[in-house]
């Protein structure tokens, strides 16, 4: 069966520090991968998605970037965090043949 992992689970970072969040999927190959941010009262905001290694599409211009160095690995990064980057970050995946997305457990990021 397929499993999606995210780490760390929680993170507290100072403003201006770098960020690296990691997402990995097990039990499948060539998944589509997604990064979302969920802020209170604002719903799920799609940040990036990837249909293959090295292929990244950005949905919202911002302080963040994404990379996909391996088929089942998706990384969300920032060089300098802003207060507004605080939120709950969710990684999701779909198999190549369906639009149903499956979410990871999330990373709660607090920028102070």
Partner 1 sequence: QKEVEQDPGPLSVPEGAIVSLNCTYSNSAFQYFMWYRQYSRKGPELLMYTYSSGNKEDGRFTAQVDKSSKYISLFIRDSQPSDSATYLCAMSGVSGGSNYKLTFGKGTLLTVNP
Contact set with partner 1 (CB under 8 A): 6, 32, 41-44, 46, 49, 51, 57, 88, 90, 94, 97-106, 108
Nearer to partner 1, 16 or 59 (CB): 59
Least Å distance, CB 14 to partner 1, is: 23
Distance CA 24, CA 74 (A): 6
89 Rama class: left (phi>0) / alpha (psi -120 to 50) / beta = beta
Q: Which structure tokens are listed for 2? A: 């397929």
Q: Give whichever of 11 and 44 is closer to partner 1, judged by the CB atom.
A: 44
Q: What is the nearest approach in angstroms of partner 1 to the Cβ of residue 39?
A: 11
Neighbour tally for 50: CB within 10 Å = 20
Q: CB 98 → partner 1: shortest distance, Å?
A: 7
Query: 């929680």: which residue's tokens?
Result: 10
Taking the C-alpha atoms of residue 112 and residue 104, their distance in angstroms, rounded to an integer, is 25
5 vs 80 by CB, closer to partner 1: 5
């Amino acid at each position: 069966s397929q499993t999606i992992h995210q780490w760390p689970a929680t993170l507290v970072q100072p403003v201006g520090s770098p960020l690296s969040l990691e997402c990995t999927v097990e039990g499948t190959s060539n998944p589509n991968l997604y990064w979302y941010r969920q802020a209170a009262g604002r719903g799920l905001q799609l940040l990036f998605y990837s249909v293959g290694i090295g292929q990244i599409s950005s949905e919202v211009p911002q302080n963040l970037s994404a990379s996909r160095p391996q088929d089942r690995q998706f990384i969300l990064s920032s060089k300098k965090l802003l207060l507004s980057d605080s939120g709950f970050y969710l990684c999701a995946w779909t198999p190549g043949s369906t639009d149903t997305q499956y979410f990871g457990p999330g990373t709660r990021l607090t920028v102070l």
